[in-house]
Amino acid sequence: MANKTHECFRVEVIDKVGMVTMIRPERSNSMIPSFWTELPTIVDELSNGGNVRAMVLAAEGRNFCSGMDLEVFGNSEAIGGEAIGGAGDGAKTKGYRSRRNERFRSTALKLQDTFTALERARMPVLSAIQGACVGGGIDMVSATDMRYTTENAWFSIHEINIGMTADVGTLQRMPKLVPEGIVRELAYTGRR
């Protein structure tokens, strides 16, 4: 894969190392809809290309990742799903809630698959983390093989603070990395 810039990432291959850098520092590298299609494509291209021996996932700016931009659920079509919709598009029709819930579930599975691409990569994937690594950022780094941080790095399973569950991989992957009791405490409290 040649060096390439996407909306959310810059990809460079330097000495057989794929440097994948998030390039939206003005928004703390939040995960907008295009993020979810770009990342698995980049990982698959680097993995299948055969000339990359390792991949480093990094970020520009003060923070590694502020997590998922909630626009993702309002624009699930952008990640290959169906529109989730709101109360104004047929909420009174029979079966609306079931269809909406299934679309939400389908979208969540597509989001999970994005990070599973990191686990499936044929080469080791390392994360270089600075500043905040929040919500979906934790989902992402928990899918990498190794995580390296600066002294100012901090983590928060922030979903609980906005009435969501950490359903894109944190609860499945983090207990493999740290004791389950600590994961539960962080998930239930949203603390750093």
* Beta carbons of 92 and 55 less than 8 angstroms apart: no
The CATH number for 185's domain is 3.90.226.10
Q: Is 61 left (phi over 0), alpha (psi -120 to 50) or beta?
A: left
Residue 118 per-residue DSSP state: H
Which residue range is the domain that position 158 belongs to?
4-189
Model pTM?
0.80
The number of domains in the chain is 1
* String of DSSP letters for 7-27: SSEEEEEETTEEEEEE--GGG
Closest CA to 140 of 34, 45, 65: 65
For residues 191 and 174, give the distance between their C-alpha atoms in angstroms, rounded to a whole number: 15
pLDDT per residue rounded down to tens, the chain (192 residues): 668 999 999 999 999 999 999 999 999 999 999 999 999 999 999 999 989 999 999 999 999 999 988 776 665 555 555 554 555 555 555 677 777 777 766 777 787 789 999 999 999 999 999 999 998 999 999 999 999 999 999 999 876 666 566 566 677 777 788 898 888 888 888 777
For residues 95 and 132, give the distance between their C-alpha atoms in angstroms, rounded to a whole number: 41
